Structure 1
Amino acid sequence: MSTEITITLPDEVYQRAERFARLANRDVAGVLADTIQLSMPPVRADLSELEPLSALSDKQVLTLAELQMEPEQDARLSELLDRQQAGTLAENEHSELQTLMQIYQEGLLRKATALSEAVKRGLLAPLSQ
């Protein structure tokens, strides 16, 4: 199943996509759809039910701005990353590493957006000051 959308792209981005599509003998829409699909990390379905940050209280936003991975998960992620770098990651550990990386990335994104919201609300000073 597919959903049709309309987007506005900067001219330069569209021209790059058009040149690439011509080079690959494909249509621009297919090139753009594949590019989005390959560049966007998967997000667990249960996260789609999260309340938008704008609907959260100041206290909830600040709590999310301090979000950390569970210590056990963080330790296991570090261990698996070390094994991967050393080339000793067992075959059955690949999916565990992918799952922990997804949890880490989703948490990091949630934390970053909470930090942005906290700054926007004046709860925290901008990091550049």
Structure 2
Amino acid sequence: MSTQIIITLPDEIYQRAERFARLANRDIASILVDTIQLSIPPVSGDITNLQPVSILSDEQVLMLTELQMESAQDAQLSELLVGVARRRHRQQSGTLTECDRTELQTLMQVYQEGLLRKATALSEAVKRGLIEPLN
């Protein structure tokens, strides 16, 4: 299933997409769909149930600015990443088992979603004057 939308692109972006589409012998719409698909990471269903940071109380926003991954998840993510780095350093093939790869993808998604939520909270806290902007 597909949803049709209408967007307004800056002329420069449209021209870049048009030139790339011509070079790739494809239509602009397929180029834009592929670009969007590759640029927006998947988001878990749990995150869509969260309230927007902009409507949270000052206290809730400040709590989110301190958001960190659960220590067990953080340790497991670190362990998996160290294992990948060691294998690459030794130039071993088969860097991860399928189970490890799935776990790594899941933990990376948790990490990225948390980081995005924290960054949004930091931006909101600065907007509200709750914290000073970083220089």
Give 1:89's aligned residue. 96
Give 2:123's aligned residue. 116
1:76-122 deviation digits (Å, cap 9, x = unpaired)? 10000011112253332000000000000000000000000000000
Give 1:23's aligned residue. 23
Give 1:35's aligned residue. 35
Amino acid in the other structure paired with 1:27: D
Q: How do residues 99-114 of structure 1 correspond to structure 2 at under 5 angstroms?
A: 99-114=106-121
Amino acid in the other structure paired with 1:99: T
Which has the larger displacement, 4-13 or 53-62?
4-13
In the aligned structure 2, how far is the partner of 1:68 from the partner of 1:92? 24
Q: How do residues 38-49 of structure 1 correspond to structure 2 at under 5 angstroms?
A: 38-49=38-49
In the aligned structure 2, how far is the partner of 1:84 from the partner of 1:7? 41
Give 1:68's aligned residue. 68
In the aligned structure 2, how far is the partner of 1:54 from the partner of 1:120? 10
Please give the TM-score of this superposition, normalised by the length of structure 1: 0.95
Give 2:90's aligned residue. none
User: Could you say what the CA RMSD is over the residues aligned between the two structures, in angstroms?
Assistant: 1.0
Amino acid in the other structure paired with 1:112: A
In the aligned structure 1, how far is the partner of 2:112 from the partner of 2:2? 26
In the aligned structure 2, how far is the partner of 1:54 from the partner of 1:91? 39
Q: Which runs of 5+ in 2 are unaligned?
A: 88-94
2:124 paired with 1:127: no
Q: Which runs of 5+ in 1 are unaligned?
A: none
Amino acid in the other structure paired with 2:44: R
In the aligned structure 1, how far is the partner of 2:13 from the partner of 2:122? 30
Shift of 1:19: 0.6
Amino acid in the other structure paired with 2:68: Q
Identity of aligned residues (%): 71
In the aligned structure 1, how far is the partner of 2:84 from the partner of 2:10? 39
SS in 2 for 1:123: coil
